[in-house]
Amino acid sequence: MDTIWQRVRTQADGVLRYLLLFLKWAGISILCGVPIGLVGWLFHHLVEEATALREAHGWILFLLPLGGAAIALLYRLAGMERDGGTNSVLLSVRRDGPLPFRMAPLIFASTILTHLLGGSSGREGAALQLGGSLAAQAGRWLRLDRRDRHIITLCGMSAAFAALFGTPLTAAVFAMEVANVGAVYYAAIVPCVFAGLIGAGIAGKLGAAPAAFQVAGIPELSLQSAAQVLALAALCAAVGILFCLSLHVAGSWYRKLLPNSILRAAVGGALVVALTFLVGSRDYNGAGMAVITRAMAGEAVPYAFLLKILFTALTLGAGFKGGEIVPVFFTGATFGCAAGGLLGLAPGFGAAVGLAGVFCAVVNCPLATLFLCLELFGGEGMPLFALAAAVSYLLSGRFGLYSGQRFSSVSRDL
């Protein structure tokens, strides 16, 4: 009888402990999710305003070299000239490395400036740095231990990512999956999901429309459609590798040829301006969401993905700020639209598969890719999107955007 009673008490103690743990992280999620959601919404709003201002006044593009020099000088004055960007956030999750609070205002201002002046960059890198640095500061204020500081950093990443894109499930899973490829950080599932929902909810209430696309021509699952998607996914893996190599090589060449960061950014800005006029189109400046939308409707220039890779490499390699993911969406959607049509798929569906395939190839996050497809495209065609994510993930090998990622020993073993 005593043994049974002891077991009941032990189980009751376990239930109580997990209940208290749930309440603790629910509270911390609200504490982080609300302010970071508000900051994320403000950031989203200002990036949109900056983009609209640039498109209304074409002459602003000529200020890009000056803006690059200003960003580099700002980081130098702040003592963060060697800032690792998103890699610093990932390393802080794995190794408890320093994540200074000043990273937040720096990435906030420099990303808006990059978009205002026409640099080819995204905004998710800024979201991860913004949310991660703010949450890390909150962890220091709350005097959390090492493990809990890791979790609250993931919580902040999820809230900011969700506020910018309106994809809370993708944000939560991406935050848990991106730092350690092959080992999802399930301990953070409650705070990441809560923070993602709060961040997206706040941004939505304040008028930020979630990212979503109408995809036409989704085929039924069959041997033919599976073979077509498999072939496109394999090509997407190659495009993802090309994207990663281009960014890494461009950054290396810039640093080797132009050691001075201010001069490097100014020259990079001048190269982007010159390339814009050489190409004769401004589709490749900024994030390029309008081009992604057209690709989802079945319209894309066949070589647009190559130009976007070049513009992005010249921009981010020179030291401009923002992120790589929206340019990855652009690259994948335009490539998939063109290549999918050649493989017999509807161009719009090819664009959706291309976006998912290249995204998965560069971030090495197949689970987050599945949630991204669900939230961007709806639930139709999920088996085919899952096939695309699996194939592109495997075939892209250990290439990736983030050197701060750690690959588990079983992440790709078969």
Residues 284 and 252 in one domain: yes
> Any bridge partners for residue 406, and if so which?
180
With respect to residue 270, please indicate whether it lies within any of the assigned structural domains.
Answer: yes
With respect to residue 122, please indicate whether it lies within any of the assigned structural domains.
Answer: yes
Residues 238 and 191 in one domain: no
Nearest Cα neighbor of 216 from 327, 279, 295, 314 is 295
Range of the domain at 151: 7-205
User: What pLDDT score does 14 carry?
Assistant: 63
Helix (H) or strand (E) segment spanning residue 132: helix 124-141
Residues 46 and 153 in one domain: yes
The per-residue pLDDT string of the chain (414 residues; one tens digit each, 9 = 90 and over) reads: 557 666 666 666 667 788 888 888 888 888 888 999 899 899 989 999 999 999 999 899 999 999 999 999 999 988 877 776 777 777 766 666 667 778 888 888 999 999 999 999 988 777 888 888 888 888 888 888 878 888 888 898 899 899 988 899 999 999 888 877 777 878 888 899 999 999 999 998 998 888 889 898 899 999 999 999 999 999 999 999 999 999 999 999 999 999 999 999 999 999 999 999 999 999 999 888 999 999 999 999 999 999 999 999 999 999 898 888 899 999 999 999 999 999 999 999 999 999 999 999 999 999 999 999 999 998 889 999 999 999 999 998 888 888 766 776 555 555
**Domain count of the fold of the chain:** 2
With respect to residue 106, please indicate whether it lies within any of the assigned structural domains.
Answer: yes
Looking at 156, 176, 205, the residue that finishes a domain is 205
> Any bridge partners for residue 180, and if so which?
406
Residue-wise pLDDT tens digits, 323-365: 888 999 999 999 999 999 999 999 999 999 999 999 999 999 9
C-alpha of 13 from chain center: 40
Residues 186 and 272 in one domain: no
Rounded to whole angstroms, the Cα distance separating 89 from 30 reads 21
DSSP state of 322: S
Residues 257 and 132 in one domain: no
Nearest Cα neighbor of 339 from 311, 300, 377, 373 is 300
Sign of torsion, CA 114 211 282 355? positive
Residues 198 and 231 in one domain: no
Nearest Cα neighbor of 312 from 296, 300, 328, 301 is 328
With respect to residue 2, please indicate whether it lies within any of the assigned structural domains.
Answer: no
Looking at 177, 205, 233, the residue that finishes a domain is 205
Find out whether 25 and 142 touch, Cβ atoms under 8 Å. Answer: no
With respect to residue 212, please indicate whether it lies within any of the assigned structural domains.
Answer: no
Q: Specify the 3-state DSSP secondary structure of 177.
A: helix
End-to-end Cα spacing for the chain: 49
Residues 119 and 156 in one domain: yes
Q: Report the interhelical angle of 124-141 vs 325-342 (nearest 10°).
A: 140
Residues 41 and 90 in one domain: yes
* Residue recorded with tokens 């402990």: 17
**Residue 190, Cβ neighbours under 10 Å: how many?**
19
With respect to residue 182, please indicate whether it lies within any of the assigned structural domains.
Answer: yes
Distances (CA, A) of 255 to 98, 238, 251, 318: 24, 26, 6, 8
Q: What is the CATH number of the domain that holds 16?
A: 1.10.3080.10
Residues 267 and 196 in one domain: no
Residues 168 and 264 in one domain: no
Look up residue 313 and give its amino acid. A
Helix (H) or strand (E) segment spanning residue 59: none
Looking at 156, 178, 205, the residue that finishes a domain is 205
Residues 198 and 336 in one domain: no
With respect to residue 320, please indicate whether it lies within any of the assigned structural domains.
Answer: yes
Look up residue 105 and give its amino acid. P
With respect to residue 120, please indicate whether it lies within any of the assigned structural domains.
Answer: yes
Residues 262 and 345 in one domain: yes
Rounded to whole angstroms, the Cα distance separating 199 from 196 reads 5
User: What pLDDT score does 228 carry?
Assistant: 96
Phi first, then psi: give them for residue 197, nearest 5 degrees.
-65, -40
